Structure 1
Amino acid sequence: MRYFILLISTLGIIACSRTPDQPAGPVNRKALTRDSLRRIAEARFQDTRTASAGAIREIIETREPDDRYKARGVSLYSSVLLPKLYIENNFNLLWINHFDSIHKVEEMSAFLEDIIFHGLIPEHYHAAEIRQSLTELAKDSALIYNSTFLANLDLLLSDAWFMAASHLYFGKIDPESLEAQWGIRRDKPDIPFDRYLKTMLSQETVEEGFRHFYPPHPGYEAMVAEAKRLTTLKDGDFSIKADLKNSSLKPGDSSAYIAEIKRKLAFLGLYTPDTLTNPDKYDDRLLESVKKLQEHFGYNTDGAIGKNAFKALNMTVEQRIGQLYVNMERLRWMPDSLEHTYIQVNIADFTLDVFREGDTLLRMRTIVGKEYRETPVFNARITYLVFSPSWTVPPTIQRKDVIPEVRRNTGYLARKNMKVYDSKGRLVDPASVNWSRDGMRYTIRQSPGAQNALGKVKFMFPNKHNIYLHDTPSRNLFARDERTFSSGCIRIEKPYDLALILMSDMEGWTPERIRQAMDAGIEKTVVLKNPAGVYLTYLTAWGTKAGVIHYRTDIYNRDAEMLKALREKHTKWKT
C-alpha cells in the first residue's frame, strides 16, 4: 500500500509539474514517469533486501543441532563458511544487489550446467533448484520483491559456489576410498573460498572466478573443451568392424575398409575428406591422419593400420569422455607446486619426463609393472644412485619366478650370475639346497654385470613399496607399444642421460666418470647433492599446452571405479 500511495503521489506531481508562469517547453513525461517508477522499484527492493537479511539470519540461527542448513527444502553442504560469510556480510544478499540485475545468478546457473564437462554432476551443486528459481522468476517478475524467495536462492548459490570450488580445487573423490590408491601427497594449501566469492561477485565473471581453482596443468581447459565437443558427437558415433587376419593396412594398399576408416577419422576431426581421390586407397592424406591418431594414443607412428589402430578408432566417444573426466579428477589431486627439478613417470603412458623450472629436459620410454604386479602411484625424492648395482631378488619374485626355474635346472643360477646366501650371509652351494622345501629360507643375489636385472645403475627414492628406477639389459622391450613387463619397479630407456642431469651440480662427476662408474662392475653408491622429486602418476588422458588431447589404455583397469565414484553424490565436504 505504501508503494501504491507513493506512485499516485508521484503521478500527481508529474501532472502538475508545469505551472502557468513557466515558459512553454517540452516536458518528457515518459522519462519522468520512468525515472520515478524506477526510484519506487529501488526503494521497494531495498526493503526486500532488508527483509531477506532477516530471513537468512533466521535460517542460520534456527538450525537444529547436528542438522544441516536448508534452502528451498534442500540440505546445504557448507556448515562453516556459509554462516561465516553471511554473518560478516550482516546477513545481506550477495548475488542480487539490484531489482533488475540477476546476471551473476544466470552466469552461475550456466556454469553449473556446464560443470558436467569437468566430470562433475550439476545436480550435486543445486543446479536444478537454481534453474527452477530462475524459471519461476521469469514467469513472475514480482518474485524479485519476495524476501523468502531471494534469501533461499542466495543461500543455494553461495553453497553451490563453496562445494563446486572445493571439488574443482581438491577433487571430488577421496583417493584413499579407492581400491587402487593414489599415494601422491597433495600438499595443497587451504584456500579462502569465501574471499574468492566476494572478489568474483565484485570484479569477475563466474567462470573467471572458478578458474582460480582449476588444476595448474596446462592442458586442463583443453580437456574441458574436448569433453564439450565430444558430447555433441555422441549420437553420431559408430564403430568399424574389420577382419584383417592379423595383418595390417599400409600406404598404397586398397581395401573396402579404408573408406570407412577415412569416414571415422573425419568424424573424429582428424581427416579432411577428399572426393577427388580413390576412397578405398590408402593415400598420403590418410597416412598423415593415421599417424596423428597413433600419436594421440601413444602407439608407434608407423602408419600401419592394425590391431592397435583399430582399437583407437573404435574407442567410443562415450569412453573418451569418461577418460577425460576421470583424469581431470586425477589432475585435481596433484600438488600445485613441485620441486625445482622433478621426474614424472606416467605409468599408463610408459614414459618418464624430467622437468626443471617447468621446462622439459629429458623424455624417455619406460617399462612398468605387469597387471598382477602393478606399479603403485606415489611420490618421493631421489636421494642416491647405485652404479653397477647388485640385485637382491625380492621374495615375491624369488618364490614365483626364480625358484621354479631353479627346480627345473640348478644351472639357471650360474647362467644368471646369481649366488645363494644363508641367513648368516654365508655363500651356499645351490646344489645342496632342497629348493622345493627350503627355497625361501635363502637369499639370492645377482652380481653386477651385463646380465644384471637392474642394468648399470639404479635410482633410489626410499619408499614403503620398495620401488625404484633402474636400467635394464632387455633393451628390445622399449620398442613395444604397451610395456607392462616388470615386477613393479620402473625400467628406464636412458639411464645415463638421467644420471647426467641429476649429478650435473656435483663436482668431479664428469660425463666420462659417470660412464666409467656404470661400466665398472663394482657397486658404488653416490648420494645426490640436491635430491630430485619423483612422481609416479597414472593418467590415461590429458591435454597438452597446445590443446592436443592424448588417450592411453587403462592398463590396470582403474578408470571404471573412479568414473562410478564421480557419479555418486558426495557425502563429505571441506567447507
Structure 2
Amino acid sequence: MNWKKMIIGALVFSACTTNQNNLGLTNAEKTYKIEKTLFFGKDNNMVDFYTKNDFETIWKDSLNRSQLISAIIDSRYDAVLPEKYPLAQLIKAHNNYNYLSIAEVKKADIHFTETFFRIAKQLSTGKINPKKMYGDWEPYHPEIDYKKILKESLENNSIYDGLEEIKPKNKLYLSYKKAFAKYVPITSKDTLSEEGLLRKKVWVNFERTKWIQPNLGDHYVWVNLPEYQLHLIENGAIVDTHKVIIGKKSRRTPVLSSAFNSIILNPKWTVPPTILKKDLVPKASANLGYFASNRMRIIDKKTGKQVAPENWNAGNYNAYRYVQESGSSNSLGQIKFNFPNKHMVYIHDTNNRTRFVEKYRALSSGCVRVEDPFRLAEKIFKIEGKNISKAEMDTLAVEAKTKNFSLNKKVNVHQVYLTAVINDAGEIQILNDVYSLDNKLYKQLIQ
C-alpha cells in the first residue's frame, strides 16, 4: 500500500469537502462536548487532558489530523510499524470529517488523541518496556509531558513537529536509525539468512537505544555485556579498553546507568543474598571448614558479634552476615568500584585472573570483573582530580588494609546490552546473544 498517495488523497479530499460546505457551520467549525462515559477505561493521560479541556473535541482542524497521519506513516523510519496503528480508520474519519454524525465526531476525536499518546510514547521510549520484560533492566525514562506537547501542537498546528521533537537525537540512536533504514525493509520477515539475521539484530538493538539515556556524560565507562569489554570514554573518545567477565546466564549482570561514588582498595566482601543461598549455605553445610578456607567470618546480625562455625545455625542462615577478609584471595580481588544501584552489583578485580583469556566470559554471579583494574582506577582518579598513581595503589594493596576513596560522581557507568555494534564508519559487528534476549524482543516488536 502506498501511504504517501493515501495522505495526499486525504488532504485533497479534505480541502474539497471544506469548500463545499458554505451554507452552514460544518463539523470543522464546531466544538462538541464529549460524554464522560466515553472515557471509562481510558489512559490517565487521556482523561486528564480532556478534563482540563472541559471534555471538548480538539481535532476539528484538518491540518492537525493530516499531520498525525503523516507522522504515523513516517514513523517507520524509527522502527515503528504504521500498519499496527488504525490508519485506515483515521484516514476515513479525516476524509469524511464534515459528514460525520456528532457521535462519530466524538469517537473520532478520542481515537485521534489515543493514537497521538500511543505513538508519542513509542517514538520517545520504544514499543517495549524492558523492565517488565526482563526485570533486571533499568531503562532510561525521559521526563516528557505528552499532554503539554499535544496541547501546544494542536494550538500551533505542529503535530508532526511535536512528535518529531520527542524522538531521541543522540549519536547512538541516529547511527542505529541509519542502519535500520539500510537493512530493515519492514515488508521482509526473513530472519534465517545471513541478511535476515542482520536485519533482526539491527531492529532489536535500535529499540534498545531508546532505553539508554541520551546524555552519557563527558566521562564514562561503557560496558557492553555481549562484547565482554569495558571502554573508558573521555570527551567522546575511547582512551582505554579492558576485558571483562560478566554474569552467567542464570545470574545475569543487570543493564543500568549510574556514576562511580567510591573506589575501595583491599575490600572486604559481604556475601550477597543470591550467592549466600545458592552457594555458601550448601557448601558450608556440607563442610564447616568452608569458612576457614575462605577466610570467612560469621557475624550475628542482632549482636554484631562473631560466631564460631561450630555454633552456626544453617537452618537460620539469614540471621548472620558473612564477611570475607580483604587480601589477594578475596573474591573481589584487591580493588572494587562502587556505584549506586538497586541490584547490589559493582565492578571489581578478581582472585582468578586466568579466566580473562577465555573467549566466553559470562562466568560471574552478576558483578562485572575487570582485567587490570588498577590501570582503570588510576585513570578514574585522574579525572576526579585525585593524584593517586598505580604505584601508590600497588603499595597499599600489599599492605592489605582496606582503604576507601570517595569520588564525586564525575565518571558515569553504563552497562548496556547491544548484540549489534556499529562503528563510526557504519560497519556492523554481530555479537553473541549471550543471554538469549534477542528473539523474545523481536517477536514483541513485529506483533
State the partner residue of 2:4: none
The answer as to whether partners of 1:168 and 1:213 remain within 8 angstroms in 2 is: yes
Partner of 1:213: 166
Partner of 1:421: 298
How far, CA to CA, are the matches of 2:154 and 2:421 in structure 1? 32
Q: Give the match's secondary structure for 1:334.
A: coil
Secondary structure of residue in 1 paired with 2:326: coil
Q: 2:27 aligns with which of 33, 42, 55?
A: 55
Letter in 2 for 1:419: M
Structure-2 separation of matches of 1:399 and 1:478: 27
Does residue 1:450 correspond to 2:328, yes or no? yes
Which amino acid in the other structure matches residue 62 of structure 2? L
Count of equivalent residues: 422
- Residue 470 of structure 1 deviates from its aligned partner by 0.7
Which residue is 1:121 aligned to? 81
CA spacing shift, 1:108–1:399, aligned 2, 3 Å: closer
Change (3 A) 1:438 1:125: closer
Instruction: Give the secondary structure class of the aligned counterpart of 2:119.
Output: helix
Change (3 A) 1:329 1:53: farther
Paired residue type of 2:87: A
Alpha-carbon distance in structure 2 between the residues aligned to 1:175 and 1:492: 26
In the superposition, relative to structure 1, how do residues 55 and 235 fare at CA in structure 2: closer, same or farther (>3 Å)?
closer
Please tell me whether the aligned partners of residues 406 and 435 of structure 1 are also in contact (alpha carbons under 8 angstroms). no
1:264-303 per-position Cα deviation (integer Å, ceiling 9, x unaligned): 6xxx4xxxxxxxxxxxxxxxxxxxxxxxxxxxxxxxxxxx
AA aligned to 2:166 is F
Residue 328 of structure 2 aligns to a residue whose secondary structure is: coil
Secondary structure of the residue aligned to 2:166 is coil
Shift of 1:356: 3.7
Q: Which amino acid is the alignment partner of residue 330 of structure 2?
A: N
Contact 1:231 1:321 in 2 (8 A): yes
* Pairwise CA distance, 1:439: 5.9
8 Å CA contact 1:53–1:92 kept in 2: the answer is no
CA RMSD of aligned residues (A): 4.6
SS of equivalent to 1:465:
coil
Please state whether the residue corresponding to 1:496 is helix, strand or coil.
Answer: helix
Say whether the 8 Å CA contact 2:335–2:373 is kept in structure 1.
yes
Distance 2:79 2:87 in 1: 15
1:523 equivalent among 390, 402, 411: 402
- Please state if 1:496 is matched with 2:398: no
- Distance verdict in 2 for CA 1:513–1:119, change over 3 Å: same
Tell me the equivalent position of 1:328.
206
CA contact (8 A) 1:419 1:427 kept: no
**Is the 1:161–1:197 Cα contact (8 Å) retained in structure 2?**
no
Deviates more, 1:379-388 or 1:475-484: 475-484
Closer, same or farther: CA 479–93 of 1 in aligned 2, 3 Å? same
Matches within 5 A, 1:386-425: 386-416=264-294, 418-423=295-300, 424-425=303-304
Q: Output the CA distance in 1 between the equivalents of 2:112 and 2:316.
A: 68
Where does structure 1 lack aligned partners over 5 or more consecutive residues?
A: 1-40, 70-74, 97-103, 138-142, 240-263, 269-316, 569-575
The Cα offsets for residues 74-112 of structure 1, whole Å up to 9 and x where unpaired, read as x9x96677997xx9999443269xxxxxxx77x955x64
Kindly indicate whether the alpha-carbon contact (under 8 Å) linking 1:219 and 1:542 is maintained by their aligned counterparts in 2: no
Task: Please state how far the C-alpha of 1:362 moved relative to its aligned partner.
Answer: 3.1
Instruction: Give, in angstroms, the shift of residue 389 of structure 1.
Output: 1.0
Rounded to whole Å, the distance in 1 between the matches of 2:329 and 2:402 is 14
**How far does residue 522 in structure 1 lie from its aligned partner after superposition?**
0.8
Q: In 2, Cα distance between the equivalents of 1:44 and 1:185? A: 46
1:350 and 1:172 map into 2 onto residues whose CA distance is 27
Q: Which residue of 2 aligns with 1:295?
A: none
Query: Counterpart of 2:62 in 1: which secondary structure?
Result: coil
Query: Which residue is 1:64 aligned to?
Result: 35
Q: Name the structure 2 match of 1:34.
A: none
- Of 150, 168, 191 in structure 1, the residue corresponding to residue 123 of structure 2 is 168
Equivalent of 1:349 in 196, 203, 227: 227
Change (3 A) 1:221 1:108: farther
Change (3 A) 1:510 1:455: same
- Aligned 8 A contact 1:353 1:362 in 2: yes
Report the identity percentage.
Answer: 25
SS of aligned partner of 1:343: strand
In 2 relative to 1, CA 90–433 (structure 1 residues): closer, same or farther, beyond 3 Å? closer
**For residues 235-250 of structure 1, what are the structure 2 equivalents within 5 Å?**
none
Q: Distance in 2 between matches of 1:62 and 1:392?
A: 63
Match among 55, 62, 73 for residue 93 of structure 1:
62
Task: Map residues 67-78 of structure 1 onto 2, 5 A cutoff.
Answer: 67=38
Pick one of 531, 541, 549 that aligns with 2:428.
549
Change (3 A) 1:353 1:48: farther
Shift of residue 61, structure 1, vs aligned partner = 1.4
Per-residue CA distance 1:141-179 (angstroms, 9 max, x = gap): xx8xx8448x98x97888756543432113333444335
Question: Which amino acid in structure 2 is aligned with residue 521 of structure 1?
Answer: A
Asked if 1 retains the 8 angstrom alpha-carbon contact of 2:375 and 2:390, the reply is: no
- Secondary structure at the aligned position of 1:503 is classed as helix
Alignment-derived partner of residue 415 in structure 2: 536
Q: Which residue of 2 aligns with 1:373?
A: 251
Cα deviation, residue 456, structure 1: 1.3
CA contact (8 A) 1:407 1:436 kept: yes
The Cα of 1:198 is off from its aligned counterpart by: 7.4
Do 2:230 and 2:243's aligned partners in 1 also have CA atoms closer than 8 Å?
A: yes
SS at match of 1:448: coil
8 A contact 1:227–1:324 mirrored in 2: yes
SS at match of 1:182: coil
8 Å CA contact retained: 2:271, 2:321:
yes
What residue number does 2:348 align with? 470
Question: Secondary structure at the residue paired with 1:372?
Answer: helix
Partner of 1:360: 238
Q: Deviations over 1:299-340 (max 9, x none)?
A: xxxxxxxxxxxxxxxxxx1x5444433333332233333444
For 1:508 and 1:178, the matched residues in 2 are separated by: 44
- Quote how far apart the aligned CAs of 1:483 are: 1.9
AA of the residue aligned to 2:434: I
Larger Rg: 1
Contact 1:369 1:484 in 2 (8 A): yes
What CA distance in whole angstroms lies between the structure 2 residues aligned with 1:516 and 1:338?
34
CA distance in 1: counterparts of 2:124 and 2:149, whole angstroms: 10
Q: TM-score normalized by structure 1?
A: 0.60
8 Å contact 1:54–1:91 — kept in the other structure?
no
CA contact (8 A) 1:405 1:412 kept: yes
